[in-house]
Structure 1
Amino acid sequence: MNEPLIITVAPNGAYKQPGDHAQLPITPATLAATAKRCCDAGAAMLHLHIRDAAGRHSLDVEGYREALRVVRAAVGDAMVLQVTSEAAKVYRAPQQIAMVRELRPEAVSVGLRELDQPEIGEAGLAAFFGWLAAERIMTQVIVYDVADLQRWQVLRATGLIPDAPWLLLFVLGRYSAGQVSSPQDLLPFVQAHQGPEPWAVCAFGAAEHACMTAAAALGGHVRVGFENNLYLKDGSLAPDNAALVQQVAQSAAVLGRPLASAAWLRARLLP
């Protein structure tokens, strides 16, 4: 049997607002309701952004704790709750690292190039990733291009990043014209990837589903949702995030890949 497919849903992101889509969640209550629907549709992990009182991107620890409490009450242990550490032109690397250390979440996503900064240095990177591994925090490392992936490989090869069950996220089309992704954008990542880490993809625009299907066919995992795309594979506006999850679940069935549960994901990445 093929390895189960991890579907992560990214329902809001750092920038979109309910004006972009009526079902875009930004409050703990709407995030919880969205998480439950997406969990029922087949998502094993929620990629969580929170907002401040003005609706802007936030890494506030207490805001995260409240959102995680409300979402956990809705989904129980049926989803892994992954917080973002994204800078979003608001935060610097020391603030991002400090948030993760204080919050100590179950799971976190970190942009390698956001943390690989002079004010952190290689010693700071080694200390942070060593702490993540020691704390058994499920960590997804975001790479935007092959240069990012090669930098990750150097850090791993030199021992600055310790052995741990890291998960990579390949971002397709982040620097393409109009920020529109294509399944072909995946090929350089797959060709360059040499390590043991499982990988997932996210993609922008209406070709998101085609990119997800390509990733699933090649043995990868997927992240879908309104953070990057509002449209179904037929080009129509998706009614909600769960509809994007359902599309991927249908493709997984065609490809013969069962869907990963949160329990399977925890066992896979936190053995």
Structure 2
Amino acid sequence: MTDMGNKVLVSVAPVAATDKVIIPEKIAEDVYNCYKAGAAMVHLHVRDREGNLTPDMTLLEETLAMIRKDSDIVIEVSTGGVSDLTIEERCAPLYSDLVEACSLNVGSTNLGRSVYCNPIDDVEYCIREMLKQKKTPEVETFEIGHTWAMEQLMKKYEFVEPVLFSIVLGHEGEAPATPQALAAMIQMIPAGTVWGITQARRTDFSLLAGAVGMGARTVRIGFEDSRYLDSRTQALTNGPLVEKTVAMLRAMDKEPMTPEEARNFFRIGR
């Protein structure tokens, strides 16, 4: 059996919230190049052609079919994002056969001047539907209260282990992208679970490297969070961001997980 101790899942979130032209072929090609560069998971939102969040899965299903035709990358779709959608509408991707994992947001969040609302009744509805559909949750925690809330929810619902927490840093109004905030967030992660890192508005890779050094099992990269390759250079496609992330891992004596290794390690779809 392969030793997974030095393996890290690289996830790519390739579509920026500011992108107002959604072209399935273009996204699928970008994702395929990320897959070849070492990404084991893709994270997408349900969007219409103008980039607005929608419960209509038509365009996303078209995109996912193209992605699946060319690769076995793990497909994760968000159940969130700032919008006026109801929780039932936000859960639309849970019923797609091509979707394997979904983000799970367990508390409300300030994102700049917007408020991302996740009242507990909505959270529990999402959890029940996610578990029914056997979609693997990635718990996005923007502050320690979210981590604590999920710890309580784990006592109420039967989640497949290990539960994956994604520590999200760098959004205006939430936990900052600092080593101190990262250390505080890690301390709150419950025993027996695993965690990864997502950094919004990132301009370098130093905090991602620090997180890997402290035990992160996933690293999310991509235009949804930042286009920066370094403080002066922005990538034109997502592939170079994945390439740099994989190079960072290998410089730390780590290796990127394959999609199959990711499915086995995180028990995706179980």
- TM-score between the two structures when normalised by the length of structure 2: 0.84
Deviation track 1:4-45 (CA, whole Å, cap 9, x = no partner) reads 0100001114x2226xxxxxx832101111011111111111
Is contact 2:22-2:49 (8 Å) kept?
Answer: no
Pairwise CA distance, 1:176: 4.5
Equivalent positions of 1:184-263 (< 5 A) are 184-220=180-216, 221-263=218-260
State how far apart, in whole Å, the 2-side matches of 1:57 and 1:126 are. Answer: 20
State how far apart, in whole Å, the 2-side matches of 1:10 and 1:204 are. Answer: 11
State how far apart, in whole Å, the 2-side matches of 1:36 and 1:121 are. Answer: 32
State how far apart, in whole Å, the 2-side matches of 1:129 and 1:102 are. Answer: 9
The residue matched to 1:71 in structure 2 has which SS? helix
Pairwise CA distance, 1:205: 2.2
Percent identity, aligned pairs only, is: 22
Is contact 2:94-2:130 (8 Å) kept?
Answer: no
- Which residue number in structure 2 is paired with residue 102 of structure 1? 95
The residue matched to 1:57 in structure 2 has which SS? coil
- Which residue number in structure 2 is paired with residue 21 of structure 1? none
- Which residue number in structure 2 is paired with residue 143 of structure 1? 141
Of 44, 51, 57, the residue aligned with 1:48 is 44
Corresponding position: 1:152 with 2:146: no
State how far apart, in whole Å, the 2-side matches of 1:203 and 1:138 are. Answer: 21
- Which residue number in structure 2 is paired with residue 127 of structure 1? 128
Is contact 2:198-2:220 (8 Å) kept?
Answer: yes
Letter in 2 for 1:63: L
In structure 2, relative to structure 1, the CA distance for the partners of 1:183 and 1:245 (3 Å cut) is farther
Is contact 2:46-2:57 (8 Å) kept?
Answer: no
State how far apart, in whole Å, the 2-side matches of 1:31 and 1:169 are. Answer: 23
Is contact 1:252-1:258 (8 Å) kept?
Answer: yes
Is contact 1:26-1:50 (8 Å) kept?
Answer: no
5+ long unaligned stretches in structure 2: 109-116
- Which residue number in structure 2 is paired with residue 59 of structure 1? 55
In structure 2, relative to structure 1, the CA distance for the partners of 1:208 and 1:223 (3 Å cut) is farther
Pairwise CA distance, 1:54: 2.9
Pairwise CA distance, 1:141: 1.4
In structure 2, relative to structure 1, the CA distance for the partners of 1:183 and 1:121 (3 Å cut) is closer
Aligned positions, number? 255
- Which residue number in structure 2 is paired with residue 3 of structure 1? 6
Is contact 1:182-1:210 (8 Å) kept?
Answer: no
Letter in 2 for 1:225: G
State how far apart, in whole Å, the 2-side matches of 1:34 and 1:121 are. Answer: 32
State how far apart, in whole Å, the 1-side matches of 2:257 and 2:194 are. Answer: 13
Is contact 1:206-1:235 (8 Å) kept?
Answer: no
Greater Cα offset, 190-199 or 2-11? 190-199
Corresponding position: 1:91 with 2:85: yes
**CA RMSD across the alignment:** 2.5
State how far apart, in whole Å, the 1-side matches of 2:120 and 2:176 are. Answer: 31
In structure 2, relative to structure 1, the CA distance for the partners of 1:46 and 1:36 (3 Å cut) is same
Is contact 2:189-2:195 (8 Å) kept?
Answer: no
Pairwise CA distance, 1:59: 3.5
State how far apart, in whole Å, the 1-side matches of 2:123 and 2:245 are. Answer: 39
Pairwise CA distance, 1:111: 1.5
Pairwise CA distance, 1:175: 3.7
In structure 2, relative to structure 1, the CA distance for the partners of 1:242 and 1:46 (3 Å cut) is same
Is contact 1:47-1:81 (8 Å) kept?
Answer: yes
Pairwise CA distance, 1:121: 7.1
Equivalent positions of 1:164-203 (< 5 A) are 164-176=161-173, 181-203=177-199
Greater Cα offset, 49-58 or 252-261? 49-58
- Which residue number in structure 2 is paired with residue 16 of structure 1? 18
In structure 2, relative to structure 1, the CA distance for the partners of 1:242 and 1:39 (3 Å cut) is same
In structure 2, relative to structure 1, the CA distance for the partners of 1:259 and 1:83 (3 Å cut) is same
Pairwise CA distance, 1:167: 1.5
Letter in 2 for 1:8: S
Corresponding position: 1:81 with 2:75: yes
